[in-house]
Structures are given as C-alpha cells and as structure tokens.
Amino acid sequence: MYISISDLYVPEDVLIRLTDDESSGSINTARADDAISSAQAVVDASLSMQYDVPLSNPPQLVIKLTADIAVYNLYLRQAIVPAEVKDSYASAIETLQNIANGIILLPSSTPGTSVSSSRRDFSRKTMRDF
C-alpha cells in the first residue's frame, strides 16, 4: 500500500470516532485499512492510464492523494463529511484526472507506455534510384 494509518492526517481521537463502531475506544485498523485500500484502488485506476501500477516507489504527491481519498472514505462512513475534507477529495480526484490525461507527470516515475519500431525499409539512401 502507498500509505498506512500513520500517514492519515487526522488526530487519533478522530480516527477512533471514524472507525470504532463498537465503542471499544481504539482505532479499528481493519476499517482504516479498508478505506486506504479503496483509496489506493482509485489512485491506481487513474495512474494506470499513464503508469505501471502499483508504483514501487510512490512520489509524495501520490501519497497525499491516497491519504486525501482515504480520509474522505472514512468520513463517508459517518455520513457527515466536513467541507475541507470534501474539497481535498475533489482536488485529489481532479489531480488524478490530470495525471490520467498526461497533463501532470509524476516526478521520478517512468510512464508505463513505450513505443518500439522496426528498421526502416525505405530511406533516402534506399530510394535514391527510384
């Protein structure tokens, strides 16, 4: 995975509130991991248009986008999503669309598509006497 629970930028008490349906007083790591996995699936689906996924060494931008989407996923479980979380999510989705369309290139990543060609059959030299 691109991120772990520690990469989510919400305080521990908020993570407990967002994941602890049983009122145990602790973070339900399975629910947090599900939100992270779902977020990575969204990120990978977008990145796959330009890159081989999953990325072996994700750049900081991908980590942030994954975290923004994962936090949004966690808040969706509670049905009340703060405006700043919605805005971060919308920005992350827009950025992913720009990456998918090749408008934004990831740093230190090689696009997954490659072009190869065979030897030229016709050139100025081979066509000289025609």
pLDDT tens, 43-88? 999 999 999 999 999 999 999 999 999 999 999 998 899 999 999 9
Average pLDDT over residues 97-122: 70
pTM for the whole thing? 0.81
Where do the structural domains in the chain lie, given as residue ranges? 5-100
pLDDT tens, 51-60? 999 999 999 9
Q: What is the DSSP letter of 107?
A: T
Cα–Cα distance between 88 and 49 in angstroms, integer? 22
Average pLDDT over residues 87-115: 83
Q: Which residue has the tokens 């994700």?
A: 58
